[in-house]
């Protein structure tokens, strides 16, 4: 696994070593030993999630204030623009975002550690996204950061109005959101 970028005090963009020939390809998408070495600490994943969405769906920006989740995100088909926002007030990168195009073609992954809000928008006709999480989903602790908060200035790389769930449309701007110390 190769680290392409190390952004915002912990967000990693990763690229696996792919072995391909006329039959297809093979790669290790995750190994505990390799991933822990890249992150610099032991990481335990407890849940795998899989979503399928159509073009223009924007999911996020989600986080949990208790039972915080680190997420290792990858796309198996289609393309998304994946975004992480640092919401740790003690961090020198508080309120900054980073994004990466993830696709079934480029096979890149993004590690979004605990203390970040996370979301993505689908750029292709459809996209299937897989992500590993370090804690279980806890809806009572879930919060949503406003996807188009002018204070964040996220360039979603998508023209037009995204398709949103009501809770995502009603997210809070960073100035009013519950954040981490």
Q: What is the CATH number of the domain that holds 163?
A: 2.60.120.10
Residue 123 in this model has a pLDDT that exceeds 90: yes
The reply to whether 65 falls in a domain is: yes
Note the pTM of the prediction, 2 decimals: 0.94
The reply to whether 16 falls in a domain is: no
Is 63 part of the annotated catalytic residue set?
A: no
Residues 169-177: what's their mean pLDDT?
97
Among 50, 62, 118, 137, which one carries the catalytic annotation? Answer: 62
Residue 105 to residue 150: CA distance in whole angstroms: 32
Task: Name the token pair of 42.
Answer: 């032991």
The reply to whether 21 falls in a domain is: no
What domain range is 148 assigned to? 44-176
Read off the pLDDT of residues 42-67 as tens digits, 9 standing for 90 and up: 999 999 999 999 999 999 999 999 99
The reply to whether 123 falls in a domain is: yes
What is the number of domains present in the chain?
1
The whole-number pLDDT of residue 151 equals 97
pLDDT band at 118 (very low <50, low <70, confident <90, very high): very high
Nearest 5°: phi and psi at 140?
-70, -15
CA gyration radius, the chain: 16
DSSP H/E element including 98:
strand 97-103
Q: Which of 95, 150, 87, 144 is nearest to 119 (CA)?
A: 144
Is 118 part of the annotated catalytic residue set?
A: no
The reply to whether 33 falls in a domain is: no
The reply to whether 117 falls in a domain is: yes
Q: What's the order of all strands across the beta sheet hosting 2-7?
A: 2-7, 11-15, 109-112, 71-77, 126-133, 47-54
The reply to whether 154 falls in a domain is: yes
Average pLDDT over the chain reads: 96
Range 27-38 burial, b when 16+ CB lie within 10 A, else e: eeeeeeeebeee
Among 118, 131, 137, 141, which one carries the catalytic annotation? Answer: 131
The reply to whether 7 falls in a domain is: no
């Amino acid at each position: 696994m190769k680290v392409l970028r190390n952004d915002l005090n912990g967000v990693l963009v990763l690229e696996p070593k792919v072995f391909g020939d006329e039959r297809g390809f093979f790669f290790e998408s995750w190994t505990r030993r390799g991933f822990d070495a890249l992150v610099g600490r032991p990481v335990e994943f407890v849940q795998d999630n899989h979503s399928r969405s159509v073009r223009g769906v924007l999911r996020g920006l989600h986080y949990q204030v208790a039972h915080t989740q680190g997420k290792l995100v990858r796309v198996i088909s289609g393309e998304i623009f994946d975004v992480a926002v640092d919401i740790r007030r003690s961090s020198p990168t508080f309120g900054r975002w980073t994004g990466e195009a993830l696709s079934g073609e480029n096979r890149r992954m993004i590690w979004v550690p605990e203390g970040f809000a996370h979301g993505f928008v689908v750029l292709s006709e459809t996209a299937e996204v897989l992500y590993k999480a370090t804690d279980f989903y806890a809806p009572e602790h879930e919060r949503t950061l406003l996807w188009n908060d002018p204070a964040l200035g996220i360039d979603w790389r998508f023209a037009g109005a995204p398709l949103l769930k009501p809770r995502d449309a009603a997210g809070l701007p960073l100035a009013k959101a519950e954040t981490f110390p």
